[in-house]
Structure 1
Amino acid sequence: MDRLRSLEVYVAVIDGGSFTAAATTLEISAVMVGKYIKALEQSLGAPLIQRTTRHMQMTESGRAFYAEARQVLEQWRQACESVEGLQSTPHGLLRITAPMTLGSCMVAPLVAAFLVAYPQIRVELILNNSSVDLLQDGFDAAFRIAHLEEMDLVAKPLQAYEMLICASLEYLQLNGTPEKPADLAHHRLLVHSSWTQRFNWALKEGNTEIPWPEHWVMKSNDGPALRLAALAGAGILMQPRFLVADDLASGALVSVLGDYLPSPKPVHLIYAPQRARLPKLRAFIDFATQRLGV
C-alpha cells in the first residue's frame, strides 16, 4: 500500500465529505477510494470513518489521524517545493482560482498564453464565485475582486473591474431607453446571482448610491450566459466592460445609463509570500502583472 497516497485519499475524503467527492478530486474511482481507506484502517488496526447510508463521520481515532495526516502532507509538499525552488526552469503544476466571469473572459486567455510561453508548467484553473481559503484548499494563486481586508497574503493590483450597462438595439426600440436609474423599474433585467448585500454594484447618482433593482427575468451565475440573453434582446444587462466591449464596438449592444455606472472595484492577484520563491509561481506572477497590471 502506498502510505502517502493513502493519507492523501483519507484527507480528501474528509475535506470533500464523501468518497465520491474525494474520487472526483483525485481523479480515481470511488471504489478505489474505498479500497485505500479500508487498507489504511487495516494497517492502523482502528476504524477511521463511520458510514451509514446517509452520513459519514470520523471516529475519535479518525479525528486524531486526520490532523496528523494533514501535517504530514503539508511537510511533504514543502519538501517537494524546496527542491523545486532550486530548479532554474519553471515547471510543475500551478493551481489557480478565479471568479467565473473574470476567470472565463480574462484569466483563461491569460493562462492559455502562459502555457504557450512555459510549456513545462501545467495549470489547473478552478472558476468559482464562492470564497476559498488559498492555503487550506491548496491553491497557489487566486484572482479576487473587491477591497481586501488585512491578510497574510501578497496582493498584486491588476486592472480594475469596470461595469457597463447595455442592451440590444432591438430591445431598446421595443421597450424604450432608460434615462435614469429609476427607469429600470419598468425594464426586463438580466442579473448575476453573485450580487448580494456583501458584493453588490450600486449605481451612482451624485453622492447617492442606488441599489440595482431586485426584479429580474433571468438570473445566472455565468456572465457570458447573461450576455447571450442580452444579445437576443431579452433585457438590460450590467456586466464588466471586458465581457461586452466587442459587442459595443460592433453595435450588437448599446450602452445606457453611462452617467450612473457603479464605481469600479479593484482586482488583485493574491498568493502566499512563502510560495513566491517557486519558479513556476514567480513566472506566473510576472506574466500576469505584465499583461494585466496597472
Structure 2
Amino acid sequence: MNPIKAMEVFVAVVNHQGLSAAASALNLSNVMVGKYIAALEAQVQTQLIQRTTRQIRVTEAGWLFYDSAQIALQAVSDAYQQLEALHAAPKGSLKISAPMTLGSELLAPLVAQFMQRYPDIQIELQLSNHVVDLMAEGCDCALRIGPLKDDYGLIAKKIMDYHMVICAAPAYLAQQGTPTSPADLLHHRLLVHATWNPQFNWLFANNGQAWPQQWHLKSNDGQVLRQAALAGIGITMQPTFLLQSDLAAGKLVALLPEYTPSPHPVHLLYLPNRYKLPRLQAFVGFMLESLHPTSGL
C-alpha cells in the first residue's frame, strides 16, 4: 500500500463525509477507496472511521490521524512545488472554481486565451454557485462575487467590479407597463437568480430596499433568466456582461437606471503556499492584466 495515497484517500473521505463522494473526487471506485481505508486501519491497527449504510463517523483516533495526515500531504505538495518552481516555463495543471454565469460567460474565453499563451498548462474549470473550500476540494484558486467573509488564510486579489442591469423585452413592457420605481416591481413578473437570499442580495441604490423576494421564474443559471427575458416572460436583473449585446441590439430595454444596485467586487482567491507554483503565478498575473478593478463589466 502506498502510504501517501492512503493518507490522501482518508483525508478525502473525511472532507467529503463519505466513501462514494471521495471516490468520485479522486476518480477511484468505491471498492478501491474501501480497500485503501481498510489497509490503512490494518497498518495502524486502529479504527479510524465507523461506517454505516448511510454515513460515516470519524473516531477520536481518526481525527488525530486526519490532522497529521493533512500536514504530511501539504509537506509532500510543498516539496513538489519547490521542484516545479525551478522550471523556467509554467507547466502542469490548475484547478479553478468560479460561479456559473461569471465562469461560462466571462472566465471561459479568458481561460482559452491563457491556454494559448501557456500551452503546457492544463486547466480544470469547475463552475458552481456554492462557496468552495479550496483546501478540501483541491482547488488552486477560486473567483468569488461580493464582500469577502470567513476567508481567513486566503490571499484575495480584486480583479473587477460586477455591475448589474435591470431590464425586460420591449414586448413585455408594451403589455405590462414600464416600472418607474422599485416598488412597481412588486406588480411585475420577476426572473430571479436562485443564489439571491437575505445573506446575499442586491440593494437598490437611492432606496435601500432589497430586490423583491417574489418571483415568476427562479434559476441558478443566468442564461436561463436571459432567455426568459428575451422571450418576454418578465423583468430580470443580471450582470451587464451577460446582457450588453442584447441591450445594444434593442432586444432588451434597461430599466430603473437610477436605482441599479451598486456593483459587487469580484476577487481571485488562493492559498498563500500555492502561489509558489509558476502556473498559478502566471494565471493570477494574466487575470489582473485582463480584468482590472476599475473594469465596468
TM-score (norm 2): 0.92
- Give how far 1:21 is off: 0.3
Distance change >3 Å, CA 52–CA 130, structure 1 → 2: same
- Equivalent pairs: percent with the same residue? 50
CA distance in 2, matches of 1:15, 1:93: 22
Tell me by how many angstroms 1:57 deviates: 0.8
TM-aligned CA deviation for residue 246 of structure 1: 1.3
Distance 1:164 1:62 in 2: 50
In structure 2, stretches of 5+ residues that fail to align are none
CA distance in 2, matches of 1:271, 1:53: 36
| 1:80–1:266 Cα change, 3 Å | same
Q: Tell me if 1:48 matches 2:48.
A: yes
Q: Does residue 37 of the first structure (1) align with residue 2 of the second (2)? A: no
Q: Is 2:77 the counterpart of 1:74?
A: no
Change in 2 beyond 3 A, CA 1:91/1:199: same
Aligned residue in 2 for 1:21? 21
Displacement after TM superposition at 1:146 (Å): 1.9
Equivalents in 2 of 1:55, 1:26: separation in Å?
19
Map of 1:72-221 to 2, 5 A cutoff? 72-148=72-148, 151-205=152-206, 208-221=207-220
Q: Distance in 2 between matches of 1:56 and 1:153?
A: 29
Matched, 1:235 2:242: no
- Cα shift at 1:241: 0.1
Shift in Å at residue 190 of structure 1?
0.6
* TM-score, scaled relative to structure 1: 0.93
Q: Distance in 2 between matches of 1:14 and 1:273?
A: 23
Which deviates further from its counterpart, 172-181 or 57-66? 57-66
Is the 8 Å Cα contact of residues 100 and 128 (structure 2) preserved in structure 1? Answer: yes
Deviation at 1:107, TM superposition (A): 1.5
2:275 corresponds in structure 1 to: 276
Aligned residues: 292
Q: CA deviation at 1:106?
A: 1.2
Residue 17 of structure 2 contacts residue 55 of structure 2 at CA under 8 Å; is this kept in 1? no
For 1:159, what is the secondary structure of its paired residue?
strand
Instruction: Report deviation, 1:226.
Output: 1.2
Q: Whole-Å Cα distance in 1 between the matches of residues 158 and 197 of structure 2?
A: 24
1:225 and 2:224 aligned: yes
Give the whole-Å Cα distance in 2 for the aligned partners of 1:146 and 1:252.
29
| CA distance, structure 1, for counterparts of residue 121 and residue 200 of structure 2 | 34
Cα distance in 2 for residues equivalent to 1:274 and 1:179: 51
Mapped to 2, the partners of 1:277 and 1:36 lie a distance apart of: 31
**Aligned partners of 2:105, 2:31: CA distance in 1, in Å?**
37
For 2:162 and 2:106, how far apart are their aligned partners in 1?
11
Q: Rate the CA distance shift 1:176–1:209 in 2: closer, same or farther, 3 A.
A: same
Quote the offset at 1:239 in angstroms. Answer: 0.5
Partner deviation per Cα, 1:66-112 (whole Å, 9 max, x = no partner): 22211111111111111111111101121222222212211122112
Q: Deviations over 1:146-187 (max 9, x none)?
A: 233684433322221000011112211111111211111110
> Following the alignment from structure 2 to structure 1, what is the Cα–Cα distance between the partners of residues 171 and 259?
22
